[in-house]
Amino acid sequence: MTGLPVRPDLRGATPYGAPQLDVAVRLNTNENSHPLPAELVAAIAAAVGTAAAGLNRYPDREAVALRTDLAGYLGHGLRVEQLWAANGSNEVIQQLLQAFGGPGRSALGFTPTYSMHPIISAGTGTAFVDGRREADFALTAAHAADQIRRHKPDVLFLCSPNNPTGTALGLDVIAAAYDATAGMVIVDEAYAEFARSGTPSALTLLPGRPRLVVTRTMSKAFGMAGLRLGYLAGDPAVVDAVRLVRLPYHLSTLTQVSARVALTHAPALLETVAAVKAQRDRIVVALPAYGLTPVPSDANFVLFGGMDDSTRMWHELLERGVLIRDVGLPGWLRVTVGTEPETSAFLSAVSELRPPTR
């Protein structure tokens, strides 16, 4: 790109991307390893086949039927005018930054956190500020509020459960963060369905907080990463603001149809959540025997440390056919929770590299 007039702030940057390798056990991108139910696949195929006859026409620009179904899925008294959907929660976040960020404005996130937040901020010309977590990756209400008042961001990102740590935020932290800023507060709940029992959702805080937005996705718990469907819940005015920047007809007819069919099969799809949580907890319990320190997780992945050379261990696991994620934290790696056989393969590979200490 050296001969192109690329924006100065993008020069030297690298595109987002986790390794896409053909290995036996792929546990690096937080996908749901469980296959979709055969009845859902058949229902989507039938619905898409019917919808294909109308592909000469543009899709519903406002995706009203889909947003109505999403409101019904989330509950909490949400109405269709409080929901918005796009091509993955990343596009939802991009639209929010287009509406509320941009040149001369800033976004604050508490790192380590989801790497796309600063990347999308950069793409929209929004300055990104690195907030800091405690040494154990926790974030208290006082610590968050202090940094928010100091930096005065126009957009605040709170990731709960947080990626890559898997830690969820208490509602007191979110409420304190909201009170500390005059900007937008975006709570990224991509992994909310995997949270441990008793972990509340920020959806309960929406009433009376017009600057609060909760984003979700169908990529994780629903196991439909290939569908690319994300959505937000918030005040109707937020949806109106996002509609000012969204591209016309941004959500295809086939995406809308497939997502609506999937929502009718939500109970069957979400049956995998319990299986994933069981394997997650299995990993958390097992790793200390190998001298490793897992972070208790509310997501479908586990961050673990205790390695002198985490990059070397990543390569050694890959040599054994297990691909996990090097998230750029020295001494730490992240493993997606897969099926029972995949979890067993991961733990077996770890045991070869680090014989049990007890």
Q: What is residue 15's predicted lDDT score, i.e. its pLDDT?
A: 85
- Domain-by-domain residue ranges, the chain? 16-36+270-353, 38-264
Q: What is residue 1's predicted lDDT score, i.e. its pLDDT?
A: 73
Q: What is residue 18's predicted lDDT score, i.e. its pLDDT?
A: 80
Q: What is residue 319's predicted lDDT score, i.e. its pLDDT?
A: 97
Q: What is residue 328's predicted lDDT score, i.e. its pLDDT?
A: 92
Summarised one tens digit per residue, pLDDT across range 10-22 is 888 888 878 888 8
Q: What is residue 357's predicted lDDT score, i.e. its pLDDT?
A: 66
Instruction: Compute the distance between CA of residue 125 and CA of residue 25 in angstroms, rounded to an integer.
Output: 38
Q: What is residue 358's predicted lDDT score, i.e. its pLDDT?
A: 59
Instruction: Compute the distance between CA of residue 126 and CA of residue 105 in angstroms, rounded to an integer.
Output: 6
16-36+270-353 in CATH: which number?
Answer: 3.90.1150.10
337, 284, 335: which is closest to 310 by C-alpha? 335
96, 129, 103: which is closest to 7 by C-alpha? 103
Third-level CATH fold of 38-264: Aspartate Aminotransferase; domain 2 (3.40.640)
- Tokens, residue 16: 């987002």
Output helix, strand, coil percentages for the chain, rounded to the nearest 5. Answer: 40, 15, 45
Residues lower than pLDDT 70 in the chain: 357-358
- Tokens, residue 358: 């007890």
- Tokens, residue 344: 């067993």
- For 63-119, the DSSP string reads -HHHHHHHHHHH-TT--GGGEEEESHHHHHHHHHHHHH--TT-EEEEEES--THHHH
Q: What is residue 209's predicted lDDT score, i.e. its pLDDT?
A: 98
16-36+270-353 and 38-264 have identical folds = no
Measure CA 243 to chain center. 22
